[in-house]
């Protein structure tokens, strides 16, 4: 069968010819476009992605198995590692399928689902970091009352609020994007369903839509960043009033890892989501997205483990246990055979 002079396979015809309403194909098929150079770059990043997942999982396991790390600070760190792992898992399986197969297609519901979870998890990360900065402020400002001020219940409330706000903002953006009417083009110039490449396919995408999406993105990034900076302004004022240099150094060292991660996260995210829609080519957008989706989850566990002696000891114990456990399992399986 031929549509517009282009021959379609029966499988694609079945998927393309679904319900039509107001020029919007509810079940339309999108083609993920990845050029040769971007494909090579993404393939070379697969080991880094594996390491990123392994590092974040190791942090979660180390915190879970080390009893003296069951504190609010490490609770938030474990939550951030879990959220980073989920964010990466939203993209990686689909990206690998697209890289290794000839058919690089994704349906509209799949695209909307991927966008919702990616932006929702990424937004939650921002508010988790804001909760971490408040936790650091409480620990430095009121060390004696810290166990009372940061109870398990309050930690869970802060975490739940981070997830709920992130998901609500993401839901608003997804509803706005996928209520647009899409034109004939169905090629997404990206390696996943990010906001910018999808809205570029819409016929009725107006400056009002762009402003609304920008305001929601700014609410997440700028709003959470302001909360973090407020905490650190108070932390800085407390540190400056400390009488001993040793006390100032100890207080600052507890915040240095978090500050480093905040700078990386907001630097990459702001560069991608707080720019005008047409300020760069799609190829540049893809490479910028790689830095945010790959480098941030990769560098976060490295920063926290390198700058935290307790975390290093816990990770070392986990690795030692793993090295002992694997040979035992292999020997046991060999004996059973």
Q: What is the pLDDT of residue 330?
A: 46
Task: Give per-residue pLDDT as tens, 288-314.
Answer: 777 777 778 878 888 877 677 788 788
Task: Grade residue 18 by pLDDT with cuts at 50, 70 and 90.
Answer: very low
Q: Looking at residues 246-269, what average pLDDT do you find?
A: 84
Task: Grade residue 14 by pLDDT with cuts at 50, 70 and 90.
Answer: very low
Q: What is the pLDDT of residue 125?
A: 93
Task: Tell me the sheet residues that pair with 20.
Answer: 25
User: Shortest CA distance to 165 belongs to which of 114, 210, 216, 208?
Assistant: 216
Both structure tokens of 174? 């997804």
Q: Looking at residues 245-255, what average pLDDT do you find?
A: 80
Q: Looking at residues 274-282, what average pLDDT do you find?
A: 60
Q: Which residue has the higher pLDDT, 164 or 18?
A: 164
Highest mean pLDDT among 43-52, 103-112, 176-185, 256-265: 256-265
Q: What is the pLDDT of residue 282?
A: 58
Q: Domains in the chain, start-ordered, CATH in brackets?
A: 2-336 (1.20.1070.10)
Q: Is the pLDDT of residue 268 over 90?
A: no
């Amino acid at each position: 069968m031929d549509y517009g002079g282009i021959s379609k396979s029966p499988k694609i015809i079945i998927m393309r010819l679904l319900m039509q309403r107001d020029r919007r194909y509810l079940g339309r098929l999108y083609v993920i476009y990845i050029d040769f150079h971007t494909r090579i770059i993404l393939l070379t990043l697969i080991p880094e992605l594996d390491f990123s997942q392994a590092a974040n999982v190791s942090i979660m396991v180390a915190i879970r198995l080390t009893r003296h790390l069951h504190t609010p600070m490490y609770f938030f760190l474990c939550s951030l590692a879990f959220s980073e792992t989920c964010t990466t898992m939203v993209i990686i399986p689909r990206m690998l399928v697209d890289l290794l197969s000839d058919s690089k297609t994704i349906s509209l519901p799949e695209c909307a689902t991927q966008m919702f979870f990616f932006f929702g998890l990424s937004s939650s990360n921002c508010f988790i970091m804001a909760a971490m900065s408040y936790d650091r402020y409480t620990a430095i400002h009121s060390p004696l009352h810290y166990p009372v001020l940061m109870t398990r219940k309050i930690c869970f409330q802060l975490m739940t609020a981070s997830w709920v706000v992130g998901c609500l903002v993401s839901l608003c953006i997804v509803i706005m994007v996928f209520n647009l009417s899409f034109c004939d083009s169905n090629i997404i110039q990206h390696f996943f369903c990010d906001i910018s490449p999808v809205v570029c396919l819409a016929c009725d995408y107006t400056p009002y839509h762009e402003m609304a999406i920008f305001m929601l993105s700014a609410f997440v990034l700028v709003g959470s960043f302001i909360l973090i900076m407020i905490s650190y302004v108070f932390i800085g004022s407390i540190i400056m009033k400390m009488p001993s240099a040793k006390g100032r150094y100890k207080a600052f060292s507890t915040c240095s890892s978090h500050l480093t991660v905040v700078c990386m996260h907001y630097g990459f995210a702001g560069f991608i989501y707080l720019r005008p829609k047409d300020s760069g080519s799609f190829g540049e957008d893809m490479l910028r997205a790689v830095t945010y989706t790959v480098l941030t989850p990769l560098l976060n566990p490295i920063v926290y483990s390198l700058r935290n002696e307790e975390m290093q000891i816990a990770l070392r114990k986990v690795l030692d246990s793993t090295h002992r456990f694997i040979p035992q399992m292999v020997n046991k399986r060999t004996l059973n055979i």
